[in-house]
Structure 1
Amino acid sequence: MEASGNTVPSIVVYVTVPSREAGKKLAQSIIKEKLAACVNIEPGIESIYAWEGEVQTDSEELLVVKTRQSLLEAQTEHVKANHEYEVPEVILAFLT
């Protein structure tokens, strides 16, 4: 990701989804809206988390979203608006 010979601040965003189908749908919408250069879908993760006072365990898929730092806010809003979960996870990882 370069602009005019200068490196553009790039980030990776992690988003969990409940199924492959949900992941593909969300990934395609992110790409269609030009909010990322690429989205990888990592299958078969197991998530253990607290929800409504209980410890939950679920099988999920992980989206690895490769984008620019300048698109983070728009991408986060897009995920919130188009995700199946009531409270979607959007975790940012900076690349150096």
Structure 2
Amino acid sequence: MTDALLVFTNLPDEQSATALAQRLIEQRAAACVNRLAPCTSIYRWEGKVETATEVPLLIKTTRAAYPRLEQLIREVHPYELPEIVAVSIDQGLPAYLDWVNQETKE
């Protein structure tokens, strides 16, 4: 197991997704953020089934940087309850994982 994490979040449009991605990189809370193509999300919110177009972000960070990353997402995310899901990266190219670690150090 490594200290690297893959964090998922969705935003309502490309502009807010790009702004968040840039902020995470500038603040060294993430080493890399992939902004994916818009997708359709179907979910239950406040008792109703909703459908929305969202822009997913895949964020590479570390356990040490995660609290800073979560705080930044919560500060700028337009949703009342943003999706923030972190998945441990058990294996990966060691040089890449070292790079993620270096890029997220304050």
Q: TM-score, normalized by length of structure 2?
A: 0.80
| Cross-structure match for 1:83 | 77
Distance 1:22 1:69 in 2: 24
More strand as a share of residues: 1
Q: SS in structure 1 opposite 2:78?
A: coil
For the aligned residues, what is the CA RMSD? 1.3
Q: How many residues are matched?
A: 90
Alignment gaps of 5+ in structure 1: 1-6
Give the counterpart of 1:57 among 44, 47, 51: 51
Contact residue 25 and residue 32 of structure 2 kept, 8 A: yes
Q: SS in structure 1 opposite 2:80?
A: coil
- 4+ runs deviating over 3 angstroms: none
Distance 1:32 1:93 in 2: 22
Letter in 2 for 1:62: P
Q: CA-to-partner distance for each residue in 1:3-47, whole Å, 9 max, x for gaps? A: xxxx96101000100011110000001111110000000112111
